[in-house]
Chain A
Amino acid sequence: MATLPLLKISSLRAGIDDNSILKGIDLEIRPGEIHAIMGRNGSGKTTTANVIMGHPDFEVEDGEVLLEGKSLLELEAWERARQGVFLSFQYPQSVPGLQVGNFLRKSVSSIRGEDEAKGAGFRDSLKQAMESLDIPRSFLSRYVNDGFSGGEKKRFEILQLMLLKPKLAVLDETDSGLDIDGIRTVAEGVNAAIRGTNSGALIITHYSRILEHVMPDKIHVLMDGKIVASGGPELATKLEEHGYEWLKED
């Protein structure tokens, strides 16, 4: 039997407040693959991410989203997280008073089970992940995203990705606001979490720079709620050189 796709999105239509944003999306990611979605502001990139994760403000009008063959659409966001969906937020929310260390342990416990959040095993993997992302230990006693710089927020998202070990990681503009070193660190984190595993990732981005470090298997171009082109890494280069206009004329 052929393996099931990790993520299968078919004819997905969705919107917010009676505004249709996604107008029929089809996408399939197989285990071990990293895909990228590129597109301009307002093309529906963040909506795609929010709908996959299950943001309650977005309404799915039609279509299906399957994780390993099982529909996600009826599940709440936290249930999807426990099924193995992860979203790295474009604008991570701050929670004053909630300590990073506590939050990480609670999240690992919720998603991967209590045993994974205890003892030396957890401490070691936490230490290792923090070192690889150049995050100092003092970070653990700070409050979640409270007073974080743009770069710290993004690194914290990737730290969570590395510890939560999702089946599917959706990264919404994780590269925006980062300098070149930051992009490289984040990309290395994504590679470490996904490459050589059965997990997959969907990287949503404006720019091709992060893709030079992650080397996605496939790139999709989103325009006005539809995927208008799909291809290999060469598509990113073309977009970088010619912008999006040439696609519009098709």
Chain B
Amino acid sequence: MQISTNIWQWISVICIFGMWSLPLYKDNPFYRVCQNVFVGSCAGHAIGIAIGNIVNYGFEPLFTQSKIDLLIPVILGLMLYTRFFPGVAWLSRWPVAFLVGVGVGQTIYASLRSQVINQSIAAMTKFPQPTVGATINGLVSLIGLLSILTYFLFTVPQSGVVRGMSELGRWMMMVTFGVGFGNVVSGRLSVLLGELLKIFGDWLGMI
């Protein structure tokens, strides 16, 4: 075992213990200091990156390369801040409208193609598949798709075959949620393992 002499490793590990003190003990000043250090450093970093972006993508090409067309986004960006001046606050709606319009326009047509049409095509499996396993997979996928769609069929009375399919759809969704929860647990364990690796490896030198 060889304890690290790097001050940043110490700060990092102290902050880990600070964050652990909430679930293992209770809310306390040590936890709140560590939490605020994290939030503050994240905010500071984001501001630094944002300023760098404004200079890199806006001011520098505008002033050094005379890209006059960049004046439009710069002015639209500045208009966002008019909301702090009640008399001209309405001006801030223009850039917001522009951003929403471009964002929605850019996304809608692409979503239809990629997430509806292409996914629907992929769902149309040919039977039988080359192997038994693939055929079973395809069948489970197809039955899952149809039964879950039936579950959300609200315009038909839920009785007879529709009710059976709907019930199956509910079970399929429960299995899916279980898989999702399992992955959440696994992911959170990985985060915890990262912290343990820092403590035992980087800090204490035991690994």
> Is the A/B pair a real complex?
no
B interface residues, Cβ below 8 angstroms from A: none
A interface residues, Cβ below 8 angstroms from B: none
